Amino acid sequence: MSLISDNLQAVTADIHRTAIANGRDPQQLQLLAVSKTFPADAVIAAAAAGQRCFGENYLQEALEKMQEVSNKMPQLDLEWHFIGPLQSNKTRPVAEHFAWVHSVDREKIAQRLSEQRPKNLPDLNICLQVNISAEASKSGVLPGEALALAQKIAALPGLRLRGLMAVPEASHDEQQQRQAFRQLRQLSESIQAAGLPMDTLSMGMSGDMQAAIAEGSTMLRIGTAIFGNRNYAKQT
């Protein structure tokens, strides 16, 4: 498990270096450790190395992991982010157990999260997932529909609109990576210009982190570079 702390240190150093190289303040970049498919002990190892924010994609797996982590380490104060596809009949546990949702892409989901967010908890932080490459197969609101959805979310109680998220088409070409991230940033700027303040650009994964930083990411969602390669065969 000590490998995880080495990896975290290397990723953090990489983020720092890339931010400086792009004239950005490293403090403006938050690291979300994506722990999907990895066990509670991997989360605990990362937390021991100072990581506080964790991203999960699969609801059932996430709920079990959270429970196990808090049983083993009740003193840990972790922040959980839901970043996976969300079905409307599964919103309640998300509203009850997470601090952030990055994958809101339709009004119905937002409405349910708003109604189901417990009143004793702080507002649920929301990022709109945008289908920036406009691929029919991918989740995410189309760029042209993002402003209208953002306006609806901003008006819902119990939710706090924080920004935009995207998972662009995988590419090894840095210019292509940057172009997708630039589109997301420009969309964010146009939504803000329309009067909706947002402070988060959730973009950049292990394979395109540098491009995302160069284009203004504020939250990197990093899995593989911290925890290693995922084994989906173990995933039920």
Ligand X SMILES: *Cc1c(COP(=O)(O)O)cnc(C)c1O
User: Which residues would be at the binding site for ligand X (CB under 6 A)?
Assistant: 34, 36, 57, 83, 167, 205-207, 221-225
Least Å distance between CB 132 and ligand X?
Answer: 13
Comparing CB distances to ligand X, the nearer of 36 and 178 is 36
Comparing CB distances to ligand X, the nearer of 55 and 158 is 55
Comparing CB distances to ligand X, the nearer of 93 and 207 is 207
Least Å distance between CB 204 and ligand X?
Answer: 8
**Torsion, CA 187, CA 193, CA 196, CA 199, rounded to 10:** 60
Least Å distance between CB 141 and ligand X?
Answer: 15
Comparing CB distances to ligand X, the nearer of 158 and 202 is 202
DSSP assignments along the chain, one per residue: -HHHHHHHHHHHHHHHHHHHHTT--GGG-EEEEE-TTS-HHHHHHHHHTT--EEEES-HHHHHHHHHHHHHH-TT---EEEE-S---GGGHHHHHHH-SEEEEE-SHHHHHHHHHHS-TTSPPEEEEEEB-TT--TTS-SB-HHHHHHHHHHHHTSTTEEEEEEE--PPP-S-HHHHHHHHHHHHHHHHHHHHTT----EEE---TTTHHHHHHTT-SEEEESHHHH----GGG--
Comparing CB distances to ligand X, the nearer of 57 and 114 is 57
Comparing CB distances to ligand X, the nearer of 158 and 200 is 200
Comparing CB distances to ligand X, the nearer of 195 and 232 is 232
Least Å distance between CB 95 and ligand X?
Answer: 19
Least Å distance between CB 37 and ligand X?
Answer: 9
Least Å distance between CB 108 and ligand X?
Answer: 20
Nearest to ligand X by Cβ — which residue?
Answer: 223
**Torsion, CA 190, CA 110, CA 144, CA 207, rounded to 10:** 80
Least Å distance between CB 224 and ligand X?
Answer: 3
Q: How far apart are CA 101 and CA 84, in angstroms?
A: 9
| Phi, psi for 53 (deg, rounded to 5) | -105, 130
